[in-house]
């Protein structure tokens, strides 16, 4: 029995290691899809159309300007979510005491099965703030953890959730633009008429269209799901944990739920960054200012 448990732990460890290695491959896959799309749209299709004159030049200019603008935002968001720490538990963190309710020091009662107001990570052996979960891939506790994403080689948590959502948004818009702009060429590929271009150009156009269509459809589903989670102030993990018949204690209303992720300054909503005022509110958004009690009231948030 002991051997079986040890074998299972070893297999889980190997699986987590494999996920970390897979992340590097995913980065190159993302860059590869972007490279194929850029070559197809800019180099061999709409770039040359700029010199045709008339309506063709105007359409080509509009496609190229929009393509590059979305590409810049996509790469900016992607780089930010990859490089931004999702948020770890500060050293020696302890819950905020509520003296009016006569709470004792939670550090004297580390057994969270006895004291439900204290959550302890069995792997990190430290106190856990509300909405904090341990990531087996990263090997640490993540604040307001949503999930570990192999596509960004990082956990998605309190500090980079906004950047992840912007990455999804701009990926969807970019892949949709590429799909729509290559649709006439894709239709011509199956037409009976003569198609201009070498077999290599036709193959690249066909491949770019199929890849971008697949990414646009899949990312659209994830984007819709995460928008609903943001408006309900819920993470992916919490969506499976919470009881649907009870009112979610973190739900502050759609406007405030949205602002907890994207900040209060509208000028920064579509940019992978925060204003100075919103950065000062980060401890509140991470959950580090929440008092230690089992059922949080709305006024405590």
Active site residues: 149
Q: Are 147 and 237 in contact (CB under 8 A)?
A: yes
277's CB contacts (< 8 A; 6+ apart) are 264, 265
Nearest to 40 by CA among 168, 216, 218, 210: 210
Rounded to whole angstroms, the Cα distance separating 129 from 289 reads: 9
Q: What is the Cα Rg of the chain in Å? A: 24
Those residues whose C-beta lies under 8 Å from the C-beta of residue 270, and which sit 6 or more positions away, are 73, 166
Please answer whether residues 170 and 77 qualify as being in contact, where contact means their C-beta atoms are separated by less than 8 angstroms: yes
């Amino acid at each position: 029995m002991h051997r079986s448990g040890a074998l299972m732990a070893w297999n889980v460890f190997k699986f987590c290691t494999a996920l970390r290695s897979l992340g590097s491959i995913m980065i190159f896959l993302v860059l590869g899809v972007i490279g194929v799309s850029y070559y197809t749209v800019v180099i061999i299709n709409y770039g040359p159309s700029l010199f045709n004159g008339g309506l063709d030049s105007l359409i080509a200019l509009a496609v190229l300007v929009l393509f590059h603008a979305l590409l810049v935002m996509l790469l900016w968001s992607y780089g930010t979510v990859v490089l931004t720490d999702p948020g770890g538990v500060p050293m020696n963190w302890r819950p905020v005491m509520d003296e009016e309710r006569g709470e004792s020091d939670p550090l004297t009662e580390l057994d969270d099965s006895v004291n439900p107001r204290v959550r302890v990570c069995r792997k990190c052996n430290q106190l856990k703030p509300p909405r904090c979960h341990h990531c087996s891939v990263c090997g640490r506790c993540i604040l307001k953890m949503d999930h570990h994403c192999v596509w960004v080689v990082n956990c998605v948590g309190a500090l980079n959730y906004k950047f992840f959502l912007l990455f999804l948004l701009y990926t969807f818009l970019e892949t949709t633009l590429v799909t729509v702009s290559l649709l006439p060429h894709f239709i011509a590929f199956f037409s009976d008429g003569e198609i201009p271009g070498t077999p290599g150009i036709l193959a690249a156009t066909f491949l770019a269209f199929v890849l971008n269509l697949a990414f646009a459809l899949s990312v659209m589903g994830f984007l819709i799901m995460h928008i609903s989670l943001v408006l309900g102030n819920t993470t992916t993990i919490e969506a499976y944990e919470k009881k649907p018949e009870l009112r979610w204690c973190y739900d502050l209303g759609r406007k405030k739920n949205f602002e907890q992720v994207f900040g209060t300054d509208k000028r920064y909503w579509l940019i992978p960054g925060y204003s100075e005022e919103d950065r000062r509110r980060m401890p509140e958004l991470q959950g580090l200012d929440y008092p230690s009690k089992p059922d949080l009231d709305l006024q405590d948030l």
